[in-house]
């Protein structure tokens, strides 16, 4: 809370942390006021831009450009809602030829790294010493549930096996992850779009989130070059925030 006029539940300086899943730490006063603050904080997290929000405690009396809390303290308050930007997490599905250089590039760029694979040879501490988390699982849908995807996460599906890739795509699509990149030919992507529809997932819901084929078109051929194109697209997504390329079946 950065400003108050009159009586409010707490004084200037009161702070509260709000996480992407709605959990909170600390309090700005409790009750309906705090629920409204949490709601605004969730909106701000999605927008990615800090903002000031005015609240009134005037027992129903309208205060221009303020949110009425319905409380009767009698005052007004301004809450500054900031967005802390921790290191983004890149979840790499597949620790093979592309997943390995992708993780190395992500480490260089300061990303948190989670690698998922069904083979112990492909996902182990010797191969990925830079990874914050390694998940070995025969079912990639289960693996991503274990990864607890958040709205700020970026997912790169680069394994190659059709069933594993589709399991990962379905689970990532339902998670709300901000970026879901899928490696594959246009024919594979077209087929996956059809299968998503049969799963009840409309491609329109993935507008601005699904990037397929994955990576910027830089003429990449080698695994390292493909990894570079992927990280370039990931960074573009983070920095621009409003990239709206849409995957279309071919």
Q: How far is it, in rounded angstroms, from Cα 14 to Cα 1?
A: 5
Q: pLDDT at position 250, please?
A: 36
Q: Which two tokens stand for residue 122?
A: 């492909």
Q: Where are the domains of the chain?
A: 3-81, 89-240
Q: Which two tokens stand for residue 181?
A: 């990149």
Residues 183-237 pLDDT 10s: 999 999 999 999 999 989 887 888 889 999 999 999 999 999 999 999 999 999 8
Residues 103-147 pLDDT 10s: 999 999 999 999 999 999 999 999 999 999 999 999 999 999 999
Q: Who wins on pLDDT, 248 or 5?
A: 5
B/e letters for 136-154, b = 16+ CB within 10 Å, e = fewer, are: ebeebbebbeebebeebbb
Residue 6 in this model has a pLDDT that exceeds 90: no
SS3 state of residue 32 = helix
Residues 63-106 pLDDT 10s: 777 888 888 888 889 999 988 767 889 999 999 999 999 999 99
For domain 89-240, the CATH architecture is 3-Layer(aba) Sandwich (3.40)
Q: What is the DSSP string of 39-102?
A: HHHHHHHHHT--EEEEEE-STT---TT-EE----S--EEEEEE----PPPEEEEE--STTHHHH
Q: How far is it, in rounded angstroms, from Cα 6 to Cα 78?
A: 12
Residue 244 in this model has a pLDDT that exceeds 70: no
Q: How far is it, in rounded angstroms, from Cα 106 to Cα 110?
A: 6
Residue pair 54/3 in contact (Cβ under 8 Å)? The answer is no
Percentage of the chain beyond pLDDT 70 is 94
């Amino acid at each position: 809370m950065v400003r108050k006029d009159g009586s409010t539940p707490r004084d200037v300086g009161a702070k509260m942390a709000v996480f992407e899943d709605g959990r909170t730490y600390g309090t700005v006063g409790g009750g309906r006021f705090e629920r409204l603050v949490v709601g605004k904080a969730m909106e701000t997290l999605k927008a990615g831009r800090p903002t000031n929000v005015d609240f009134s405690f005037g027992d129903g009396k309208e205060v221009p450009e303020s949110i009425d809390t319905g409380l009767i303290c009698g005052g007004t308050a301004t809450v500054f809602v900031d967005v802390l930007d921790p290191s983004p997490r890149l979840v790499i599905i597949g620790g093979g030829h592309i997943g390995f250089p992708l993780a190395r590039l992500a480490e260089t760029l300061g990303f948190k790294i989670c690698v998922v694979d069904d083979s112990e040879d492909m996902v182990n501490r010797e191969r990925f010493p830079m990874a914050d988390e390694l998940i070995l699982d025969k079912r990639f849908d289960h693996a991503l549930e274990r990864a607890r995807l958040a709205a700020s996460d970026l997912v790169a599906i680069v394994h190659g096996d059709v069933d594993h890739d589709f399991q990962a795509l379905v689970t990532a699509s339902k998670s709300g992850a901000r970026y879901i990149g899928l490696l594959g030919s246009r024919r594979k992507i077209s087929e996956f779009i059809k299968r998503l529809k049969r799963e009840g997932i409309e491609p329109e819901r993935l507008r601005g989130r699904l990037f397929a084929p994955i990576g910027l078109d830089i003429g990449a051929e080698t695994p390292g070059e493909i990894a570079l194109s992927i990280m370039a697209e990931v960074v573009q997504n983070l920095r621009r925030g409003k990239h709206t390329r849409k995957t279309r079946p071919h």
